[in-house]
Structure 1
Amino acid sequence: MSKLHLTLNLLLLLFYTLSSAQVGIGTTSPEAMLDVNGTFKVRSTVNENDIEVIQDSILVISKSGIVNTVLANDIIDVALPTIVKASFSSGGPQTLSLTLGSSKIIFDSEEVDNNDEFDLTTNTFTAKQDGIYTISGQIKISTTISVSTNFGLSIEKNGVLIAE
């Protein structure tokens, strides 16, 4: 066999091996197409503007070290299993009496409700899972109100006051 023929066969074998084999950096037994044992560095990236790509462009590393993509909504559902933001319109049916001691504010608009837990018709939040919830509110008072009083937020569970 000639040297040229042997060289061509070795090049073809090497090309075939590289095109179909797994490559390891820092390992002699790669378990993926590219298996890096150690850190790696990305020196530059391109800013992605395509909304279809952005919706599913989060990379995560599995327990076995494999890099995968995860839907952005799945990340939000795990990190924030419940998030509700409701409001009421200024022209809505709000009648607050400062002499009653308390008044229920009826929210007529939902901005966010990722688990469909707030019912606008009954004005009730029903959690789908046990947990610790953070509830916050904001009250904006007009300068025309001259009554000295306390404003706050109370939380009821099944009609029973549990916090204020």
Structure 2
Amino acid sequence: MLRKLMDELNSRIDTGSDVFVAAEADDDALPSGGVDESGRYVEKGAPLLGTVDLSQQEMQLPTHGIAEGLYMSCMAVAPAARRRGIARALLAASEARALERGESMLWLHVEAGNHAAISLYEREGFLRQPDTPLFQGFARALNLQEQPLLFKKEIG
């Protein structure tokens, strides 16, 4: 499982993604990875608190008409680590990297029922986009299961 995840991450990075990971040192992590006393898999080293993938690949799909900016995906924060500023730090890192790459816009999708994430994105300056055929086509091009809400932020 770990090898498959690493291969996928390396593939994303090789094709232009920046993958940000928030981790915290944990002396209790198993030294070589394995199953802890509760039966959960624990990887060697610091526990993963959050992650986000910032990429251009999704913007370059020929099946939709949105091409400018970078797309943020796989934004997640571990339940036990929420409300500690980790998501905000991941957003800030993504925005800084987008500016370094010369981009002026960030895009992301979020599930309509994820009110905490929607509130965070709005506080951080993301604007919900209207439900138009263009934006619906963007979600279809990404093979998203449900019709999520699309947000964008102009930066710089």
Query: Normalising by the residue count of structure 2, what TM-score does the alignment of the two structures yield?
Result: 0.26
Higher relative contact order (CA 8 A, sep 6+): 2
Per the normalisation by structure 1, the TM-score is 0.25
By percentage of residues, which structure has more helix?
Answer: 2
Larger Rg: 1 or 2?
1
Q: Which has the higher strand share?
A: 2
